[in-house]
């Protein structure tokens, strides 16, 4: 698989007039090589594919990245320059400008200045070169994503079965995290969010040592990683019988999500997709309370391309995996967000998430949804 991906990078280099590409971003490094170590630098040219790593990872590189020449180095990643670029000559190398800091770039340049006197490679910025290749998921990636989505669904079901007003937000978050880690997750996509009542008005709330309240909504946002690939799932529940305002807000969010999932199609821009849900929420009178984008891509990173947002000109196409997650957040009252992970197939959205969205009420006696 990495051989095919290397060839795609080489085709990109030719199209961009570059001699080589320097890859320093962990998820991009893993995508192109299969190497999962925490440190390493890749250089791909038309006739070479090199992976520089220190002694902690020499055996791991041989096992996980057999299509790459291992360059054995010692010390910090910038110190790899002389060994990684040996015999490359006066070439033009693209670097990942969206990820490499100014300090790191300066350190690379200084290392090159010290090591090469007669001929020096020249660095030029590239913008999301690997990310553009990663955006369409292949069958193996879709399989890993589907398994991550399934485990997230199971984790959400476990949360529903254990939820009670005696629990704190932090306790429920821990219960979710413990369950998924005991049932096959390699890690969490992000720290689990549990936000009860008014705290749900913060889209990126964190769980507190505050008991869950009867007569209030609970926003649960969670995700897991399996074989490197992420899931992202949000459901909003209610302890007790929802009042009219909560039902109205919830129904608006659910309608917005349903409309988006039914109407988004390949060829649309991320902006057009976002507008479908935004229009529903605005026409219901809650437009000012939906301030984030409709969704984001999910893969090796939990937030990646494509973006479904007001300013996204990315054209959606088959193989894109992304969330659809409208929300309404009212300060002093609370919030509602419903999020599915989806894949574009045969020109239409296919919802991967299976967690129920209609049974939001939680039975106070048995802790199960009704």
Domains of the chain: 2-134 (3.40.350.10), 139-362 (3.90.230.10)
Cα–Cα distance, 167 to 169 (Å, whole number): 7
Work out the mean pLDDT of the chain and round it to a whole number. 93
Extract the tokens encoding 52. 């520089």
Q: Is the pLDDT of residue 370 over 60?
A: no
SS (H, E, C) 177-196: HHHHHHCCCCEECCCCEEEE
**Distance of alpha carbon 162 from alpha carbon 151, whole angstroms:** 17
Provide the 8-state DSSP code for 138: -
Q: Is 199 helix (H, G, I), strand (E, B) or coil?
A: helix
* pLDDT band (50, 70, 90) for residue 78: low
Task: Flag whether pLDDT at 114 surpasses 60.
Answer: yes
Q: What is the pLDDT of residues 3-54, one digit of tens each?
A: 999 999 999 999 999 999 999 999 999 999 999 999 999 999 999 999 999 9
Is residue 160 a contact partner of residue 370, using CB atoms and an 8 Å limit? Answer: no
- pLDDT, mean of residues 278-282: 98
Confidence of residue 367 (pLDDT cuts 50, 70, 90): very low
- Identify whether the C-beta of residue 99 lies closer than 8 Å to the C-beta of residue 24: yes
Q: What is the DSSP letter of 287?
A: G
pTM of the model: 0.93
Give me the phi and psi of 287, to 5 degrees please.
-55, -40
Given a contact cutoff of 8 angstroms between Cβ atoms, the answer to whether 343 and 353 are in contact is no
How high is the pLDDT of residue 285? Answer: 98
pLDDT of residue 166: 84
Task: Report how far residue 170's alpha carbon sits from residue 267's, in angstroms, rounded to the nearest whole number.
Answer: 42
In angstroms, the CA 162 to CA 219 distance is 15
More confident residue, 80 or 231: 231
pLDDT at 83: 82
Say whether pLDDT at 365 is over 70.
Answer: no
Mean pLDDT of 98-117: 85
Report which of 121, 134, 116, 128 is spatially closest to residue 93, judged by C-alpha positions.
121
Contacts for 115 with CB less than 8 Å, ≥ 6 apart: 81, 82, 85
Strand 348-351 and strand 340-345: the pairing is: antiparallel
pLDDT surpasses 80 at 79 = no
Q: What is the pLDDT of residue 1?
A: 67
pLDDT higher than 50, residue 368:
no
For the stretch 225-278, pLDDT in tens is: 999 999 999 999 999 899 999 999 999 999 999 999 999 999 999 999 999 999
Cα within 13 Å of Cα(161), Cβ side: 10
Check if the beta carbon of residue 356 is closer than 8 Å to that of residue 340: no
For the stretch 284-291, contacts whose Cβ atoms lie closer than 8 Å and that sit 24 or more positions apart, written own/partner, are 284/248, 284/252, 284/255, 286/249, 286/252, 286/328, 286/330, 289/328, 289/329, 289/330, 290/326, 290/327, 290/328, 290/329, 291/203, 291/329
Residue 56 near residue 65, CB atoms below 8 Å: no
Write out pLDDT tens, residues 133-186: 999 999 999 999 999 999 999 999 999 999 988 899 999 999 999 999 999 999
Alpha-carbon span 242 to 25, nearest angstrom = 46
What is the dihedral sign for C-alpha 312, 315, 320, 326? positive
């Amino acid at each position: 698989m990495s051989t095919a991906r290397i060839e795609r990078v080489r085709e990109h280099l030719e199209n961009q007039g570059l001699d080589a590409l320097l890859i320093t971003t962990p998820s991009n490094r893993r995508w192109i090589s299969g190497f999962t170590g925490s440190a390493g630098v890749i250089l791909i040219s038309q006739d070479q594919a090199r992976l520089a790593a220190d002694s902690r990872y020499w055996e791991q590189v041989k096992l996980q990245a057999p299509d790459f020449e291992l360059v054995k180095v010692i010390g910090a990643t910038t110190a790899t320059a002389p060994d990684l670029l040996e015999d490359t000559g006066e070439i033009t190398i693209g670097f990942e400008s969206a990820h490499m800091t100014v300090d790191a770039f300066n350190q690379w340049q200084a290392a090159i200045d010290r090591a090469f006197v007669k001929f020096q490679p020249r660095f030029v910025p590239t913008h999301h070169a690997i990310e553009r290749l990663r955006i369409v998921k292949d069958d193996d990636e879709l399989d890993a994503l589907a398994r991550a989505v399934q485990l997230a669904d199971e984790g959400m079901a476990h949360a529903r079965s254990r939820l009670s007003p005696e629990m704190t937000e932090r306790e429920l978050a821990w219960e979710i995290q413990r369950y998924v880690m005991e049932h096959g997750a390699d890690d969490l996509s992000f720290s689990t969010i549990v936000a009860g009542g008014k705290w749900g008005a913060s889209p990126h709330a964190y769980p507190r040592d505050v008991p869950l309240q009867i007569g209030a909504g609970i926003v649960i946002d969670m995700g897991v990683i399996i074989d490197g690939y992420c899931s992202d799932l949000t459901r909003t529940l209610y302890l007790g019988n929802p009042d009219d305002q909560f039902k109205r807000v919830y129904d608006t969010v659910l309608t917005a999500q349903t409309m988006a999932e039914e109407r988004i199609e390949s060829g649309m821009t991320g902006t057009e997709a976002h507008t479908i849900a935004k229009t529903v929420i605005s026409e219901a009178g809650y437009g000012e309370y939906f301030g984030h984008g409709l969704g984001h891509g999910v893969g090796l990173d939990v937030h990646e391309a494509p973006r479904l947002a007001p300013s996204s000109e990315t054209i959606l196409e088959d193989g894109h995996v992304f969330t659809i997650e409208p929300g309404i957040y009212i300060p002093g009252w609370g919030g509602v967000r419903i999020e599915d992970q989806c894949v574009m197939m045969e020109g239409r959205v296919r919802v991967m998430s299976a967690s129920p969205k209609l049974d939001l009420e939680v039975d106070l006696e048995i802790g199960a949804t009704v």
